[in-house]
Amino acid sequence: MSKKNRNVVYSTDPNFNYDAEDEAFETLNNNEQQLKVLIDRKQRKGKSVTLITGFIGDDNNLKDLAKILKSKCGVGGALKNGEILIQGEFKDKVFELLINMGYTKTNKV
């Protein structure tokens, strides 16, 4: 679905072509992803989160990666704007987990 058709519910134009399929991002291989791992405290009332940014690919793959990281760290988290948020300061642990999972271009910021 293109951006201009996103909010179309009904059209009377007989030539209107509504393509209901979402444009899926092709997920890059793990070794091609350039992820950044950092600690963020902005607008969180002083609480720290580990932030993983730079993932290029399908939302389902991002959700799967977030689920793995949250379970390995034993904490909660969320997905927001294509970024993974892990509750607490786990920068080193998350970095090591990503490297072991094949995300070799990962950087700590």
Confidence at residue 1, expressed as pLDDT on a 0 to 100 scale = 43
| pLDDT tens-place string over residues 19-42 | 654 455 688 899 999 999 999 988
13 assigned to some structural domain: no
16 assigned to some structural domain: no
77 φ, ψ to 5°? 180, -170
Is the pLDDT assigned to residue 98 strictly greater than 90?
Answer: yes
83 assigned to some structural domain: yes
Confidence at residue 14, expressed as pLDDT on a 0 to 100 scale = 78
Q: What CATH number has the domain bearing residue 59? A: 3.30.780.10
4 assigned to some structural domain: no
Contact 52, 86 (CB under 8 A): yes
Boundaries of domain holding 83: 26-108
Q: How many domains does the chain have?
A: 1
Give the other-Cβ count within 10 Å of 50's Cβ: 24
47 assigned to some structural domain: yes
| pTM of the complete model | 0.75
33 assigned to some structural domain: yes
